[in-house]
Chains A and B, each alone.
Chain A
Amino acid sequence: MANADCIIIQGSNMAECHPVGFQWVTEAKARGARVIHVDPRFTRTTAIADKHVPIRAGSDIVLLGALINRVLSEGLHFDEYVRAYTNATNLISENYEDTEDLDGLFSGFDPETNSYDNSTWSYQTDESGVAFTDPTLSDPRSVFQILKRHYSRYTPEMVAENCGIKPADFEYLVESVTQNSGRERTTCFAYAVGWTQHSLGAQFIRTASILQLLLGNMGRPGGGIMALRGHATIQGSTDIPTLFNLLPGYLPMPSAGVHETFEDYVAAVGTPETHKGFWANGRSYATNLLKAWWGDAATKENNFAYDYLPKINGAHGTYQTQVRMLNDGVDGYFLLGQNPAVGSANGRMQRMAMSHLKWMVVRDFRLIESATWWKDGPEIATGELKTEDIETEMFFMPAANHTEKAGTFTQTQRLVQWRHKAVNAPGDAQSELDFFFELGRRVREKLKDSDDPRDRPLLDMTWDYPVDDEGEVDAEAVLAEINGYYVGGEKDGQPLDNFNQMTDDGTTAGGCWIYAGIYAGGENMAARRKPRSEQDETAAEWAWAWPANRRILYNRASAAPDGTPWSERKKFVWWDEEAGKWTGKDVPDFPIDRAPSARSNQAHGGPANLDGDDPFIMQADGKGWLFAPSGMVDGPMPTHYEPQESTVKNPLYDQQSSPTRLVMRREDNLSAPGAGNPGSEVYPYVFTTYRLTEHHTAGGMSRWLPYLSELQPEMFCEISPELAAEVGLEPYGWATLVSPRAAIEARVLVTKRMTPLTIGGKTIHQIGLPYHWGVGGDATVEGDSANDLLGVTMDPNVFIQNSKYVAGTIMPGRRPRGPELVDFVEKYQREAGLSPESGNQLVTVSDEVVAESHAAESQASKGGHPHRGGDSAVGVTPGRTFGDEATDSADDRSGRVDLRPTDSIDENSTETVGANRADDGDPTNGDPDRGYIGKDADSAQKGNLGEGARDFSGRNDEAADTNTVDNRGNEEED
Chain B
Amino acid sequence: MARFSPLEWPVLRQFRSSDTSGRGESVVSQKTRETTARTTTADKVVQSVCPYCAVGCGQKIFVKDDKVIQIEGDPDSPISRGRLCPKGAASEQLVNANGRITDVLYRAPKAKDWQKIELNTAIDMVADRFIEARRNHWEDFDDKGHPLRRTMGIASLGGATIDNEENYLAKKLYTAAGAIQIENQARI
How many pairs of A and B residues are in contact by the CB < 8 Å rule? 531
Whether the pair B94, A705 counts as a contact (CB closer than 8 A) is yes
Please indicate the chain A residues that have their CB under 8 angstroms from the CB of B142 in the complex: 256-257, 313, 933-934, 937
Q: Among B49, B77, B110, B177, which residue has its beta carbon within 8 angstroms of that of A419?
A: B49
Q: How far is it, in angstroms, between the C-alpha of A35 and the C-alpha of B178 when the chains are bound?
A: 49
Contact residues of A: prevailing secondary structure: loop
Whether the pair B186, A366 counts as a contact (CB closer than 8 A) is no
Whether the pair A242, B152 counts as a contact (CB closer than 8 A) is no
Whether the pair B53, A705 counts as a contact (CB closer than 8 A) is no
Interface size on B, residues (CB 8 A): 118
Evaluate whether A439 and B123 lie within 8 angstroms (CB atoms) in the complex, with A433-B163, A457-B176, A962-B188 already known: yes
CB of B64 to closest CB in A, whole Å = 10
Which residues 111-153 of B sit at the A interface, judged by CB distance below 8 A?
112-114, 119, 122-133, 136-140, 142-144, 146-153
Beyond A308-B149, A317-B183, A454-B149, 8 extra complex contacts between A and B, CB < 8 Å: A240-B168, A310-B151, A388-B112, A442-B127, A443-B130, A446-B128, A964-B188, A974-B186
Cβ of B24 < 8 Å from any Cβ of A?
no
Whether the pair A475, B165 counts as a contact (CB closer than 8 A) is yes
CB of A895 to closest CB in B, whole Å = 11
Evaluate whether A702 and B87 lie within 8 angstroms (CB atoms) in the complex, with A401-B94, A454-B178 already known: yes
Cβ of B29 < 8 Å from any Cβ of A?
no
Cβ of B156 < 8 Å from any Cβ of A?
yes
Interface residues of B (CB under 8 A from A): 44, 46-58, 61, 63, 66-68, 71, 75-81, 83-88, 90-91, 93-95, 97, 99-110, 112-114, 119, 122-133, 136-140, 142-144, 146-188
Please indicate the chain B residues that have their CB under 8 angstroms from the CB of A706 in the complex: 93, 97
Closest 7 CB pairs of A and B: A964-B188, A427-B102, A411-B56, A407-B163, A336-B158, A338-B158, A231-B160
Please indicate the chain A residues that have their CB under 8 angstroms from the CB of B66 in the complex: 423-424
A-B contact pairs, 6 of them (CB 8 A): A232-B53, A395-B106, A410-B164, A427-B102, A531-B75, A963-B186
Whether the pair A247, B175 counts as a contact (CB closer than 8 A) is yes
Please indicate the chain B residues that have their CB under 8 angstroms from the CB of A260 in the complex: 146-147
Cβ of A381 < 8 Å from any Cβ of B?
no
Whether the pair B68, A411 counts as a contact (CB closer than 8 A) is no
Please indicate the chain B residues that have their CB under 8 angstroms from the CB of A333 in the complex: 154-157
Q: How far is it, in angstroms, between the C-alpha of A799 and the C-alpha of B57 when the chains are bound?
A: 30
Stretch in A15-23, A74-82, A553-561, A634-642 touching the partner: A15-23
Whether the pair A461, B48 counts as a contact (CB closer than 8 A) is no
CB of B31 to closest CB in A, whole Å = 24
Cβ of A147 < 8 Å from any Cβ of B?
no
CB of B78 to closest CB in A, whole Å = 4
Cβ of A748 < 8 Å from any Cβ of B?
no
Q: How far is it, in angstroms, between the C-alpha of A333 and the C-alpha of B183 when the chains are bound?
A: 11
Q: Among A228, A310, A435, A696, which residue has its beta carbon within 8 angstroms of that of B175?
A: A310
Cβ of A393 < 8 Å from any Cβ of B?
yes
Q: Mark A386-407, 1 if CB is under 8 A from B, else 0.
A: 0111111111111101111101
Q: How far is it, in angstroms, between the C-alpha of A233 and the C-alpha of B85 when the chains are bound?
A: 17
Q: How far is it, in angstroms, between the C-alpha of A257 and the C-alpha of B104 when the chains are bound?
A: 43
Whether the pair A395, B126 counts as a contact (CB closer than 8 A) is yes
Evaluate whether A421 and B185 lie within 8 angstroms (CB atoms) in the complex, with A232-B51, A696-B52, A705-B90 already known: no
Please indicate the chain B residues that have their CB under 8 angstroms from the CB of A415 in the complex: 56, 79
Evaluate whether A316 and B180 lie within 8 angstroms (CB atoms) in the complex, with A242-B156, A711-B86 already known: yes
Q: Among B47, B110, B178, B187, which residue has its beta carbon within 8 angstroms of that of A317?
A: B187
Q: How far is it, in angstroms, between the C-alpha of A899 and the C-alpha of B102 when the chains are bound?
A: 35
Please indicate the chain A residues that have their CB under 8 angstroms from the CB of B91 in the complex: 402
Q: Mark A367-380, 1 if CB is under 8 A from B, else 0.
A: 10000001100000
Whether the pair B169, A420 counts as a contact (CB closer than 8 A) is no
Whether the pair A447, B131 counts as a contact (CB closer than 8 A) is yes
Please indicate the chain B residues that have their CB under 8 angstroms from the CB of A454 in the complex: 138, 140, 149, 178
Please indicate the chain A residues that have their CB under 8 angstroms from the CB of B85 in the complex: 19-20, 693
Evaluate whether A336 and B54 lie within 8 angstroms (CB atoms) in the complex, with A439-B123, A934-B143 already known: no
Whether the pair A243, B184 counts as a contact (CB closer than 8 A) is yes
Please indicate the chain A residues that have their CB under 8 angstroms from the CB of B137 in the complex: 329-331, 928-929
Whether the pair B144, A257 counts as a contact (CB closer than 8 A) is yes
Evaluate whether A396 and B51 lie within 8 angstroms (CB atoms) in the complex, with A334-B155, A694-B87, A929-B137 already known: no
Closest residue of chain B to A707 (Cβ to Cβ) is B90
Q: Among A232, A329, A539, A929, which residue has its beta carbon within 8 angstroms of that of B54?
A: A232
Please indicate the chain A residues that have their CB under 8 angstroms from the CB of B101 in the complex: 365-367, 396, 398
Closest residue of chain B to A478 (Cβ to Cβ) is B165
Whether the pair B168, A248 counts as a contact (CB closer than 8 A) is yes
Cβ of A335 < 8 Å from any Cβ of B?
yes
Whether the pair B166, A407 counts as a contact (CB closer than 8 A) is yes
Interface size on A, residues (CB 8 A): 179
Cβ of A621 < 8 Å from any Cβ of B?
no
Q: Mark A349-386, 1 if CB is under 8 A from B, else 0.
A: 00000000011010101110000001100000000000
Whether the pair B112, A403 counts as a contact (CB closer than 8 A) is no
CB of B72 to closest CB in A, whole Å = 13
Cβ of A155 < 8 Å from any Cβ of B?
no
Q: How far is it, in angstroms, between the C-alpha of A423 and the C-alpha of B184 when the chains are bound?
A: 27
CB of B176 to closest CB in A, whole Å = 4
Stretch in A113-121, A165-173, A965-973 touching the partner: A965-973
Whether the pair B147, A232 counts as a contact (CB closer than 8 A) is no
Evaluate whether A428 and B102 lie within 8 angstroms (CB atoms) in the complex, with A401-B95, A436-B173 already known: yes
Whether the pair A957, B157 counts as a contact (CB closer than 8 A) is no
CB of B180 to closest CB in A, whole Å = 5
Whether the pair B55, A20 counts as a contact (CB closer than 8 A) is yes
Q: How far is it, in angstroms, between the C-alpha of A313 and the C-alpha of B150 when the chains are bound?
A: 11
Closest residue of chain B to A396 (Cβ to Cβ) is B105
Cβ of A281 < 8 Å from any Cβ of B?
no
Evaluate whether A395 and B122 lie within 8 angstroms (CB atoms) in the complex, with A307-B147, A411-B54, A696-B53 already known: yes
Q: Among A411, A438, A443, which residue has its beta carbon within 8 angstroms of that of B79?
A: A411
Please indicate the chain B residues that have their CB under 8 angstroms from the CB of A897 in the complex: 186
Q: How far is it, in angstroms, between the C-alpha of A333 and the C-alpha of B158 when the chains are bound?
A: 11
Whether the pair B86, A331 counts as a contact (CB closer than 8 A) is no
Whether the pair A960, B188 counts as a contact (CB closer than 8 A) is yes
Whether the pair B104, A242 counts as a contact (CB closer than 8 A) is no
Cβ of A409 < 8 Å from any Cβ of B?
yes
Whether the pair A231, B163 counts as a contact (CB closer than 8 A) is no
Q: Among B124, B130, B146, B161, which residue has its beta carbon within 8 angstroms of that of A701?
A: B161
Closest residue of chain A to B149 (Cβ to Cβ) is A310
Please indicate the chain A residues that have their CB under 8 angstroms from the CB of B83 in the complex: 20, 23
CB of A244 to closest CB in B, whole Å = 6
Whether the pair B164, A408 counts as a contact (CB closer than 8 A) is yes
Q: Among B56, B160, B177, which residue has its beta carbon within 8 angstroms of that of A458?
A: B177
Whether the pair B53, A409 counts as a contact (CB closer than 8 A) is no
Which residues 306-328 of A sit at the B interface, judged by CB distance below 8 A?
307-313, 316-318, 321, 324-325
Evaluate whether A393 and B186 lie within 8 angstroms (CB atoms) in the complex, with A244-B180, A408-B164 already known: no
Please indicate the chain A residues that have their CB under 8 angstroms from the CB of B178 in the complex: 310, 454, 457
Closest residue of chain A to B109 (Cβ to Cβ) is A391
Cβ of A728 < 8 Å from any Cβ of B?
no
Please indicate the chain A residues that have their CB under 8 angstroms from the CB of B80 in the complex: 20, 23
Q: How far is it, in angstroms, between the C-alpha of A197 and the C-alpha of B187 when the chains are bound?
A: 10
Evaluate whether A313 and B168 lie within 8 angstroms (CB atoms) in the complex, with A426-B100, A974-B185 already known: no
Whether the pair A393, B108 counts as a contact (CB closer than 8 A) is yes
Whether the pair A708, B177 counts as a contact (CB closer than 8 A) is no
CB of B80 to closest CB in A, whole Å = 5
Please indicate the chain B residues that have their CB under 8 angstroms from the CB of A628 in the complex: none
Q: Among B46, B78, B94, B183, which residue has its beta carbon within 8 angstroms of that of A532?
A: B78
CB of B82 to closest CB in A, whole Å = 9
Please indicate the chain A residues that have their CB under 8 angstroms from the CB of B182 in the complex: 242-244
Please indicate the chain B residues that have their CB under 8 angstroms from the CB of A967 in the complex: 188
Q: Among B54, B99, B128, B143, which residue has its beta carbon within 8 angstroms of that of A973?
A: B54
Cβ of A479 < 8 Å from any Cβ of B?
yes
Cβ of A293 < 8 Å from any Cβ of B?
yes
Whether the pair A442, B185 counts as a contact (CB closer than 8 A) is no
Please indicate the chain B residues that have their CB under 8 angstroms from the CB of A974 in the complex: 54, 160, 185-186, 188
Q: How far is it, in angstroms, between the C-alpha of A531 and the C-alpha of B81 when the chains are bound?
A: 10
